[in-house]
Structure 1
Amino acid sequence: METSNTTWTNICAANDLTPNAGICALYNEQQVAIFLCKQTNNVYAVANYDPFGGANVLSRGLIGSTQDIIYVASPLYKQRFNLSTGECLDSPDHKLKTYNVRIENDQVQLKEAS
C-alpha cells in the first residue's frame, strides 16, 4: 500500500533492460543494480556494491536460481545474493540493500524499500 509520501522515481526506459542481465543506475546518489529475470518475468533492484570484493560490480553478475530463489552471483568472488531479500546465500551475515522496483508506463521506477 502506498502512502502520500511515497514517491516512485523514473530510472530508465523498460526497453533498456535485457533479460537475465543487469544494468547500473544512480538513485539517490547510490549505485543500484537492476535486473529483469526471464524465468520469473520480474524486475529486481539491489545495491550494486559487492561487500566481499569492495567494488560496485553486481550489475555485471550472473542471474541464477536455486531452490526457487532467484539470485545474482558476484562477478568477483561468486557469492550469491537473493534478488528479493538481498541476503547472501553463501554468507548469511551479509545482506544487500534492496529497492522496490516496478515498470509503469514503459519506465523502470524505484523507491526506497520499507
Structure 2
Amino acid sequence: MTTPNWTAVCNQTDLVADSGICALIQDTQVALFYIKKQQAVFAVSNHDPFSQANVLSRGLVGSKDDQLFVASPVYKQHFCLKTGRCLEDENTLIQAWPARIEKGQVEVLF
C-alpha cells in the first residue's frame, strides 16, 4: 500500500464554478467540484454505485442543512461532497479524497 501524496490534477482555471469535471488519477475517475462561494474544491469518485456508471461529475451540486452534495444524474441519489456518504442510504458510501487549490493548481490527496 502506498502513502497518499498531494497529486496535481489540473489548473484552477480548468474548473467550472459550482459544477463538476472529471479527472483521471492513477486509472481512477475522480469527480472534482469547485464551490466558488467557498473557494473550495471537493474530490469524490465519479462512479455512481446505484447506476454502475461513471457519471457523478455530471451531477447537480446543492446543499441540505449546510451539507454540500452532488445529485447523481441517473437515479438522483445525493452524495455528500466531504464524506461521500449517500444521504438517502447511509450504508452506501463513495470514495472521497481531500482536495485543495495551491498556487493555481488543483491537488488531490491520492
- Residue 76 of structure 1: CA displacement? 0.2
- Preserved contact between residue 48 and residue 56 of structure 2 (Cα < 8 Å): yes
Aligned length: 108
How far the C-alpha of 1:39 sits from its partner, in A, is 3.9
C-alpha deviation, 1:42, in angstroms: 1.4
> Which residue of the partner structure matches residue 52 of structure 1?
50
Q: 1:3-14 to 2 correspondence within 5 Å?
A: 7-14=5-12
Match of 1:28 in 2: 26
Tell me which residue corresponds to 2:102.
Answer: 104
Alignment match, 1:87: 85
Give the alignment's TM-score, normalised by structure 1: 0.90
Cα offset for 1:35? 0.3
In structure 1, what is the Cα distance between the partners aligned to 2:37 and 2:50?
27
Deviations 1:2-23 (A, max 9, x none): xxx6521110000101111100
2:70 maps to which residue? 72
Structure 2 gaps, min length 5 = none
Point out 4+ residue stretches in structure 1 off by more than 6 angstroms.
none
TM norm structure 2: 0.93
